[in-house]
Structure 1
Amino acid sequence: MSEVSSSLQAFECLRAQINPYAEEVWLIALNSQMEAIKIEMVFRGTADHCLVHPRDIFRILILCNASSFIMAHNHPSDQVLPSEQDLILTRKIHQASVLLQIPLNDHIVMTKTQYYSMADHGHFKKWKKNKDLYLY
Structure 2
Amino acid sequence: MSSSLHAYELLRAQINPYAEELWLIALNSQMEMVQKEMIFRGTADHCLVHPRDIFRTLILCNASSFVMAHNHPSNQALPSEQDLVFTRKIYQLAMMFQIPLNDHLVMTATQYYSMADHGHFKKWRKNSVQYLYE
1:91 — aligned with what? 88
1:52 — aligned with what? 49
**The 10-residue stretch of structure 1 (116-125 or 25-34) with the greater mean CA deviation from structure 2:** 116-125
1:132 — aligned with what? none
Instruction: Return 5+ residue gaps in structure 2 as ranges.
Output: 123-127, 130-134
Indicate which of 52, 71, 74 corresponds to 1:74: 71
Using the size of structure 2 for normalisation, the TM-score is 0.90
Indicate which of 16, 19, 22 corresponds to 2:19: 22
SS for the counterpart of 1:50 is coil
Using the size of structure 1 for normalisation, the TM-score is 0.89
Instruction: Return 5+ residue gaps in structure 1 as ranges.
Output: 126-134
Q: Percent identity?
A: 79
1:72-105 C-alpha deviation (Å, 9 max, x unpaired): 0000000110000000100110010010000000
